[in-house]
């Protein structure tokens, strides 16, 4: 059929005139359908913002900008401040990234550059399986295994060796910001690993060969591969960050749920997602409910801003790589 058409085009024949019109009509419909799909996304996002803004209007009017900087969360007295939750969300997510990024990149490099094929495939599968474990199971594991481990061994050790730092002061709780960050790290490792693995596999073999041919060792060759992949790796990290910020169940079970800002990672904290999950069903009173919905709006904005910043970072890294290194 396509042969036919080509011939017609070549000879400028008129026979297919009607058929061409049909094709153009088809293209138009195709374009309209695609445009609708794309618009739908924008409409959904706009609708979500509109509805959340409307539902939280009571709280926005009552507290104004002070909602963001307020540190008290006392539903009984009618005081609502979001700062401890924003702090808890960001700190636990950043902690998770600090732990998960090197591990994920390491696993991905091992899978792509070092492991024999026979080992790499089942191992990659296992890593991806980690992503399939329900988050409530992670939460339980954190309560029964991770927290006691931290309380009895890790935190006392950190206190003795690095106790002069504000992050490792106070009582070893087990349950708190540190265990929250670690559980998030475990949860986002599979996704970062999977994306980094794809990125590394996309680096052309010719880059590895170029390095090897110059007498590079495996480690030096790997550095070349990573130099090729760094904007992709940054993208993977952003993906992990998004997940860490939005994660609810596991972190709610382990972070301690106390709306306080403390530099110490041993102390309990609270995240935005956790407070919504914990208190939404028992929110009595319109202002309380409205404040929780405003929290949702803030979570939305935080994710938005963090992603935006990360995108900018990737762009600048990519530009640097392209220009000079």
> Does residue 3 bind another protein (CB under 8 A)?
no
> Does residue 12 bind another protein (CB under 8 A)?
no
How far apart (Å, rounded) are the C-alpha atoms in residues 158 and 19? 76
- Judged by beta carbon, residue 135 or residue 207, the one nearer another protein is 207
In 3D space, the residue among 241, 193, 231, 192 whose CA is nearest the CA of residue 313 turns out to be 231
How far apart (Å, rounded) are the C-alpha atoms in residues 174 and 154? 9
Window 89-118: residues binding another protein (CB under 8 A)? 116-117
- Judged by beta carbon, residue 3 or residue 206, the one nearer another protein is 206
> Do 232 and 199 touch, CB atoms closer than 8 A?
yes
> Does residue 211 bind another protein (CB under 8 A)?
yes
Would you give the binding string for another protein spanning residues 272-291, x where CB under 8 A is met? Answer: --------------------
> Does residue 197 bind another protein (CB under 8 A)?
no
> 16, 55, 135, 228: which one contacts another protein (CB under 8 A)?
228
Q: Measured from the CB of residue 93, what is the shortest distance to another protein in angstroms?
A: 30
What is the SS3 assignment for 80?
strand
How far apart (Å, rounded) are the C-alpha atoms in residues 243 and 288? 27
How many CA atoms lie less than 13 Å away from 138 in the CB half-sphere? 23
Window 161-190: residues binding another protein (CB under 8 A)? none
* # residues contacting another protein (CB under 8 A): 25
Q: Measured from the CB of residue 123, what is the shortest distance to another protein in angstroms?
A: 16
DSSP state of 151: I
> Does residue 123 bind another protein (CB under 8 A)?
no
* Tokens encoding 82: 């979001």
- Quickly list H helices, 153-283: 155-162, 177-202, 205-213, 218-246, 249-254, 272-279
> 227, 301, 309, 312: which one contacts another protein (CB under 8 A)?
227
- Residues near another protein (CB under 8 A): 116-117, 204-217, 220, 224, 227-228, 321-325
């Amino acid at each position: 059929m396509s042969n036919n058409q080509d011939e017609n085009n070549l000879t400028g024949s008129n026979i297919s005139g009607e058929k061409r019109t049909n094709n153009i009509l088809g293209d138009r419909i195709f374009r309209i359908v695609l445009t609708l799909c794309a618009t739908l996304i924008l409409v959904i996002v706009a609708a979500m913002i509109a509805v959340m803004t409307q539902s939280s209007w009571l709280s926005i009017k009552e507290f104004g900008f002070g909602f963001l900087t307020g540190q008290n969360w006392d539903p009984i007295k009618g005081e609502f401040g979001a700062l401890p939750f924003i702090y808890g969300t960001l700190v636990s997510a950043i902690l998770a990234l600090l732990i998960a990024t090197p591990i994920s990149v390491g696993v991905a490099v091992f899978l792509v550059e070092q492991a024999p094929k026979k080992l790499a495939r089942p191992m990659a599968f296992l890593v991806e399986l980690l992503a399939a474990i329900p988050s409530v199971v992670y939460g339980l594991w954190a309560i029964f295994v991770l927290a006691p481990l931290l309380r009895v061994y890790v935190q006392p050790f950190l206190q003795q060796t690095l106790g002069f730092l504000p992050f490792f002061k106070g009582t070893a709780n087990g349950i708190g910001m540190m265990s929250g960050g670690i559980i998030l790290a475990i949860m986002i490792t599979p996704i970062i690993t999977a994306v980094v693995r794809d990125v590394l596999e996309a680096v052309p073999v010719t880059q590895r060969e170029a390095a090897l041919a110059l007498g590079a060792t495996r480690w030096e060759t790997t550095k070349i591969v990573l130099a090729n992949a760094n904007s992709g790796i940054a993208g993977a990290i952003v993906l992990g960050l998004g997940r860490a910020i939005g994660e609810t169940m596991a972190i709610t079970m382990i972070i301690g749920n106390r709306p306080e800002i403390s530099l110490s990672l041993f102390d309990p904290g609270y995240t935005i997602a956790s407070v919504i999950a914990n208190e939404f069903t028992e929110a009595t009173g319109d202002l309380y409910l409205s404040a929780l919905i405003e929290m949702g709006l803030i979570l939305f904005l935080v994710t938005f801003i963090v992603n935006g910043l990360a995108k900018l970072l990737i762009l600048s890294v990519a530009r640097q790589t392209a220009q000079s290194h």
